Amino acid sequence: MTSKADIAEVSQGRDFYRALVLRRQIILVGLALALMFSICVDLALGPARYSLGQVLQALIWPSQVEDQVRVVLWQIRMPVALMAAVVGASLSIAGVQMQTILNNPLASPFTLGISAGAGFGAALALAFGVSLFPFAIEYVIPINAFLMAMLTALAIYGLSLRQGVTSETIVLLGIALVFIFNALMSLIQFFASQQAVAAVVFWTMGSLTKATWPKLWISLTVLLVAAPLLARRGWALTAMRLGDAKAESMGIRPRRLRLEVLVIVSLLASISVSFVGTIGFIGLVGPHIARMLLGEDQRFLLPGAALSGALILSVGSILSKMVIPGTVIPIGIVTSLVGIPFFLYLILNRKAASW
């Protein structure tokens, strides 16, 4: 028989859990609002500055603003501002899932060599006009970058199938791949013309100014397909952080899940990097911020990582326009400059550490 004390105890437990869930929902809403605000500020800034009121008016009633304002906001700035959010979300989701399946806080598209692979693919096209897929000349650089990024991911995938390969080995292989691609990039730059070297260097800095509506739609579509596929595996992915043995005891097949997720997030990261170039640290810092705010439950961590990554890159986009008025600094430089101190803070501050 259940006593009154038992009922009180059960409802107390549920109240605690409800409060936890509510707190996380509030944080997610807060992140979403901050992202919307940041996108509006990003839209307002540029060679011609608009007030937030003008931006909102152009967004809600486009027909009521001047043609020039509408064109600047919708055709020029909107793809860039939204691309920042979509790429930030994609890289952060890729990072959080790489960290989860490899159980390693340093895993990200950047540290596993996927970004470096994309950079090498782009450099081949920029320096020598080499096309790995010669049927879409207009998109030769992003397609080269995408194919090399996926090849890198497949190399990691292939190695992970080998007997006795641990998640630590995979991270070490990623680091080795980064060095290999960096050496190959140097080789390309050694033989390439001065103009081509400049183009390669600019590409590897990462820049949102390459964003267009078609590229945005492609990136968004991949994000909207990948995110639900990962969300469906929410409970299993959360359990992966308890270690393989515990996950197996809960009926999960870690190797299979690891491979499925690796394919999904490689696609997500490859698409993003191929369109905007190398943008480091989002895939590393975004997930850690989300984990600190929301914990490990993937039902909250996944959207949290997406929102925090999107917010960081959107703020980075604003900063890239503000540091030197009239000049847009490549976003990759900004994210690294902001990301590295934050990363050091995470490593050195035990209270903030979420690993």
Residues near other proteins (CB under 8 A) are 6, 9-10, 13-14, 16-17, 20, 103, 163, 231, 234-236, 238-239, 241-246, 248-252, 291-292, 295-297, 299, 354-355
Cβ at position 114, least distance to other proteins in Å: 24
Output 238 or 270, the one with its CB closest to other proteins.
Answer: 238
Residue 38: Cβ-neighbour burial (10 angstroms; 0-12, 13-18, 19+) = buried
**DSSP alpha helices (H): ranges in the chain?**
4-44, 52-60, 67-70, 78-102, 114-128, 140-160, 167-191, 194-205, 213-232, 234-240, 244-249, 254-276, 282-294, 298-322, 331-348
Cβ at position 17, least distance to other proteins in Å: 6
Output 17 or 345, the one with its CB closest to other proteins.
Answer: 17
Output 12 or 221, the one with its CB closest to other proteins.
Answer: 12
Cβ at position 166, least distance to other proteins in Å: 13
Number of helices and strands in the chain (H, E): 15, 0
Q: Which of 353, 234, 240 is nearest to 288 (CA)?
A: 353
Spatial contact of 316 and 323, defined as CB atoms under 8 Å apart: no
Rounded CA gap, 84 and 287, in Å? 16
Cβ at position 127, least distance to other proteins in Å: 44
Residue 62: count of CB within 10 angstroms of its CB: 12
Output 188 or 289, the one with its CB closest to other proteins.
Answer: 289
Spatial contact of 261 and 233, defined as CB atoms under 8 Å apart: yes
**Residue 144: what are its φ and ψ, rounded to 5°?**
-60, -45
Output 252 or 276, the one with its CB closest to other proteins.
Answer: 252
SS3 category, 37: helix
Rounded CA gap, 247 and 234, in Å? 13
Output 6 or 168, the one with its CB closest to other proteins.
Answer: 6
Cβ at position 153, least distance to other proteins in Å: 25
Cβ at position 101, least distance to other proteins in Å: 13
Cβ at position 294, least distance to other proteins in Å: 9
Output 288 or 321, the one with its CB closest to other proteins.
Answer: 288
